[in-house]
Amino acid sequence: MYVYIVRRLIQTIPVLLGVTILVFSMMHLVPGNPAQIIAGESASPTQVAAMEERLGLNDPLPVQYFSYIGNAITGDLGNSIRSGNAVSAEIGSRIMVTVELALYSTFLSIFMGLIAGVISATKRYTFTDAAIMIIALFGLSMPNFWLGLMLVQYFSLPPLSWFPVTGWGTFSHAVLPVITLGTAGAAIIARMTRSSMLDVINQDYIRTARAKGVKERYIIYKHALRNALIPVVTVVGLQFGALLGGTVVIEQVFAINGLGRLVIEAISARDFPVVQGSVLVIALMFVAVNLMVDLSYRFLNKRIELD
> What pLDDT, in 10s, does the model give residues 188-218?
999 999 988 888 887 888 888 888 888 888 8
Give the residue from 92, 66, 68, 90 showing the smallest Cα distance to 80: 90
pLDDT in tens, 73-103: 888 887 887 777 888 888 888 889 988 999 9
86 phi and psi, to 5 degrees?
A: -65, 140
Percent of the chain with pLDDT over 70: 92
For residue 107, what pLDDT band results from cuts at 50, 70 and 90? Answer: very high
pLDDT of residue 301: 62
Q: Tell me the average pLDDT across 60-71.
A: 81
Query: Per-residue pLDDT for 58 more than 70?
Result: yes
Would you place residue 108 in the very low, low, confident or very high pLDDT band (cuts 50, 70, 90)?
very high
Of all residues in the chain, the percent with pLDDT exceeding 90 is 12
Q: Looking at residues 259-282, what average pLDDT do you find?
A: 83
Query: Can you name the CATH fold of 94-300?
Result: MetI-like fold (1.10.3720)
Q: Where are the alpha helices (DSSP H) in 247-302?
A: 248-253, 259-268, 272-300
**Residue 303 pLDDT > 90:** no
| Residue pLDDT, tens place only, 147-201 | 888 998 899 888 888 898 888 888 898 999 999 989 988 999 999 999 888 888 8
Look at residue 57 and tell me whether its pLDDT is greater than 80.
no
- Does the structure show a pLDDT above 60 at 131? yes
Q: How far apart are CA 159 and CA 121, in angstroms?
A: 40
Q: Is the pLDDT of residue 307 over 60?
A: no
Eight-class DSSP state of 58: T
Mean pLDDT of 108-130: 90
Cα 252 to Cα 249: distance, rounded to the nearest angstrom: 5
Position 300 confidence tier, pLDDT thresholds 50, 70, 90: low
pLDDT digits 0-9 by tens, 205-257? 888 888 888 888 888 877 788 778 888 888 888 888 778 777 788 888 888 88
Which long-range contacts link 252-255 to residues 24+ away (Cβ below 8 Å)?
Answer: 253/145, 253/148, 253/149, 253/152, 253/177, 253/180, 254/148, 254/152, 254/165, 254/166, 254/167, 254/168, 254/173, 254/176, 254/177, 255/165, 255/166, 255/167
pTM: 0.81
